[in-house]
Amino acid sequence: MSRAWAVIKAHPYISNVLGYTTLFASADLIQQRVLDAGSKSEDSVAIDWRQTARVATVGFCFHANFNYHWLRGLERMLPGGGVKAVTGKVVVDQLVAAPLTISAFYIGLSLLENKDDPLKDWRLNFWTSYKTGVVFWSTMQAVNFALIPPVARTVFLGGIALTFTIFLCHLRGQSGHKPE
């Protein structure tokens, strides 16, 4: 663990962005393997690697980079781990970053799939995702801002995002999503 910590401290941008992207893409694989398998026999579940690559692309090109810079900016605006600073960071995060990241997920995947209406998945799923995310992310970000050192917050967020991204992928699939 001390070696991983040394790498994160020595190369915070690269380790955070790559770690976040890996966890983000893993969420799609888990969703396909576990949640999609509920309706099929385990042997018949085929992984859609193109879908996972699209999720990884959105994770790398937007989410990982955005969150790395966003979390650094929040720390500069509201430094520290006290109750007032953590509460301020959580509120600002939910009002600004949450809508952006949820929108980037749905719209980004739709664009990568060349959908005729890239806003359809967003319209169908945004409010459910946002309301669920406010409860989930407020708690997780409070832990992140209070207990995790700033240098490791993006990769920690990636670990937490693994769970939420499984939910987003599943919700998207349940709303009738089919790649075109």
As for how many domains the chain has, the answer is 1
Q: Say which DSSP state 157 is in.
A: H
In tens, the pLDDT along 140-152 reads 999 999 999 988 8
Answer yes or no: is 131 within a domain. Answer: yes
What's the domain range around 111?
2-174
Mean pLDDT of 77-103: 96
Answer yes or no: is 179 within a domain. Answer: no
In tens, the pLDDT along 118-130 reads 999 999 999 999 9
Instruction: Let me know how long the chain is.
Output: 180
Q: What is residue 93's predicted lDDT score, i.e. its pLDDT?
A: 97
Q: In 3D, which of 52, 53, 65 has the Cα closest to residue 97?
A: 65
Q: In 3D, which of 53, 70, 67 has the Cα closest to residue 20?
A: 67
Write down the mean pLDDT value for the chain.
87
Answer yes or no: is 180 within a domain. Answer: no
Q: What is residue 37's predicted lDDT score, i.e. its pLDDT?
A: 59
Cα gap 103→109, rounded to integer Å: 10
